[in-house]
């Protein structure tokens, strides 16, 4: 079956979730484009969006409509070309309206798995729970044709395990979109040992059509992205706890979040990033990877306590950030959680947090915040100068940042050495494209 034939009948399981909704949008757009090719005009297209949460499914339809309007507005030239034979579509707005209706016309939403029985490709994006994924894959495969292909969005479970336990005989691959799928340019591709060539080819073609940069990862729990993120986050937690002896736990968390953003020149501090991803998601990544990887402690008691207390971060339905390790006001951190007191300690630049800033010391000459460098064509030179100055600085902040950088580099090198990534460049590409870092962890800066 060709790529275009497969794309006539597609299903997404867990479609109303964070990742599922973005994947739904991307596929609806690609299918609308395909449907409008002259040779496909008489073909039937179906995109089944399945989720157990009916409220979220209703929200998904609104989300898709709004996003398709936005996408249409940005792509008027492409839409004009796509509808060039339609004399009735005069204004740009007519083309946009038609595009939205076309894309929505082949979508069917529902909670009943059996409606996907004719699907030729199934995207799985339910919660990161191995037994749930296996159970669903097995059920679906019982009523789908035996040439149905499965793309799972798991961020940590080995594909070989899903393949074996769901009896898929190589008809599954890890196509790991990053969050949010419609925006992020990266996808990690993870084959099981027996993943069939047709599925590998389909995935490469899909990436091309969706303009995603593919980085291959070997099938080791966590893959490259979460392999680095988990260990980087656990290091941050452990460092914060060490600092707690002198500065209290909220102080330690504040310091590590600050230096991991400012002095590592990253878009967010490590605890802001964990909150963004979700403390619960980070905890489940930790449990999964820890389960599959021997000889390394990949769990953390503070993380578990936050999870048990349901301090979970993540996003509200309007997209704004929920409180987690940090408290947020209009998506900006304004405080840090004090787990012993069960309340947030608000930052106080004239008081405790200002005192900690002084203890961290002056930032070295050549310091730029991430947002000031991200679009700067001379950023590599500027980073080089900054990191050189950081190395010759004696402040507490510089010492903590250099250890953090060194640890991140060692994580990256270990991912190559243990065969998760084929090359240092693959590790760096994941951090550059999936996490928006300005430099890869395996670098000459330190």
Ligand X SMILES: NC(=O)c1ccc[n+]([C@@H]2O[C@H](COP(=O)([O-])OP(=O)(O)OC[C@H]3O[C@@H](n4cnc5c(N)ncnc54)[C@H](O)[C@@H]3O)[C@@H](O)[C@H]2O)c1
94 within 8 A of 84, measured Cβ to Cβ = no
251 near ligand X, rule: CB under 6 A: no
Taking CB positions, which residue lies at the least distance from ligand X? 17
Looking at the Cβ atoms of 110 and 366, the one nearer to ligand X is 110
Looking at the Cβ atoms of 155 and 428, the one nearer to ligand X is 155
What's the closest the beta carbon of residue 136 comes to ligand X, in angstroms? 6
What's the closest the beta carbon of residue 224 comes to ligand X, in angstroms? 12
Looking at the Cβ atoms of 254 and 276, the one nearer to ligand X is 276
**Encoding tokens for residue 135?**
């159970």
What's the closest the beta carbon of residue 153 comes to ligand X, in angstroms? 4
252 near ligand X, rule: CB under 6 A: no
A 10 A CB-CB count for 85 gives 9
Choosing from 9, 28, 33, 51, the residue that interacts with ligand X (CB under 6 A) is 51
Choosing from 10, 28, 34, 50, the residue that interacts with ligand X (CB under 6 A) is 50
125 near ligand X, rule: CB under 6 A: yes
Pick the stretch among 151-159, 246-254, 345-353, 374-382 that binds ligand X (CB under 6 A): 151-159
Name, in order, each residue with C-beta under 8 angstroms of 429's C-beta and a sequence gap of 6 or more: 186, 213, 215, 440
20 near ligand X, rule: CB under 6 A: yes
Q: Are strands 46-50 and 326-329 parallel, antiparallel or unpaired?
A: unpaired
Please report which residue ranges of 313-395 form alpha helices under DSSP H. 352-360, 370-373, 379-391
As beta bridge partners, residue 10 has 47, 121
Concatenated DSSP letters for 189-210?
A: EEE-TT--HHHHHHHHHHHHHT
Looking at the Cβ atoms of 59 and 366, the one nearer to ligand X is 59
Choosing from 40, 53, 194, 218, the residue that interacts with ligand X (CB under 6 A) is 53
281 near ligand X, rule: CB under 6 A: yes
Report angle CA 404, 410, 411 to the nearest 5 degrees: 90
Sheet containing 213-216: which strands, arranged edge to edge? 107-110, 46-50, 9-13, 121-124, 149-152, 172-177, 186-191, 213-216
189 near ligand X, rule: CB under 6 A: no
Give the interface with ligand X as residue ranges (CB under 6 A): 13-14, 16-20, 50-53, 56, 125-128, 136, 153-155, 176, 178-179, 277, 281
């Amino acid at each position: 079956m060709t790529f275009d034939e497969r794309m006539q009948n597609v299903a997404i399981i867990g479609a109303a979730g964070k990742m599922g909704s973005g994947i739904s949008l991307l596929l609806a757009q690609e299918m609308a484009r395909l449907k409008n090719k002259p040779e496909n005009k008489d073909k039937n297209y179906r995109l089944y969006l399945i989720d157990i949460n009916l409220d979220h499914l209703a929200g998904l339809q609104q989300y898709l409509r709004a996003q398709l309007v936005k996408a249409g507005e940005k792509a008027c030239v492409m839409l004009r070309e796509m509808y060039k034979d339609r004399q009735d579509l005069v204004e740009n707005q007519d083309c946009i309206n038609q595009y939205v209706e076309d894309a929505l016309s082949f979508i069917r939403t529902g909670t009943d798995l059996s409606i996907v029985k004719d699907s030729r490709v199934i995207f799985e994006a339910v919660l990161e729970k191995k037994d749930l994924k296996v159970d669903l894959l097995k059920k679906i495969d019982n009523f789908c044709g035996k040439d149905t292909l499965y793309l799972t969005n798991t961020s940590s479970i080995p594909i070989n395990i899903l393949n074996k336990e769901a009896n898929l005989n190589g008809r599954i691959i890890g196509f790991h979109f990053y969050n949010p799928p419609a925006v992020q340019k990266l996808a990690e591709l993870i084959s099981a040992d027996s993943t069939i060539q047709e599925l590998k080819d389909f995935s490469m073609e899909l990436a091309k059509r969706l303009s995603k940069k593919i980085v291959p990862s070997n099938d080791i729990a966590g893959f490259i992205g979460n392999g680095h993120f988990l260990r980087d986050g656990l290091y941050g937690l452990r460092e914060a706890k060490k600092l707690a002896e002198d500065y209290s736990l909220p102080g330690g968390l504040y310091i590590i979040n600050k230096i991991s953003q400012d002095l590592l020149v990253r878009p967010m501090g490590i605890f802001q990033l964990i909150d963004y991803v979700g403390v619960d998601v980070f905890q489940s990544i930790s449990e999964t990877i820890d389960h599959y990887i021997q000889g390394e402690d990949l769990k953390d008691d503070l993380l578990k306590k936050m999870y048990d207390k349901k301090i979970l971060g993540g996003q509200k339905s309007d997209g704004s950030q929920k409180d987690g390790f940090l408290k947020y006001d209009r998506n900006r951190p304004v405080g840090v959680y004090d787990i012993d007191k069960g309340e947030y300690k608000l930052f106080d630049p004239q008081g405790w947090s200002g005192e900690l800033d002084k203890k961290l010391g002056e930032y070295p000459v050549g310091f730029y915040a991430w947002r000031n460098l991200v679009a700067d064509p001379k950023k590599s030179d500027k980073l080089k100068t900054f990191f050189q100055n950081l190395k010759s600085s004696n402040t507490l902040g510089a010492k903590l940042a250099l250890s953090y950088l060194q640890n991140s580099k060692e994580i990256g090198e270990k991912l190559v050495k243990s065969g998760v990534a084929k090359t240092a460049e693959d590790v760096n590409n994941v951090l550059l494209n999936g996490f928006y870092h300005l430099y890869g962890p395996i670098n000459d800066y330190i």
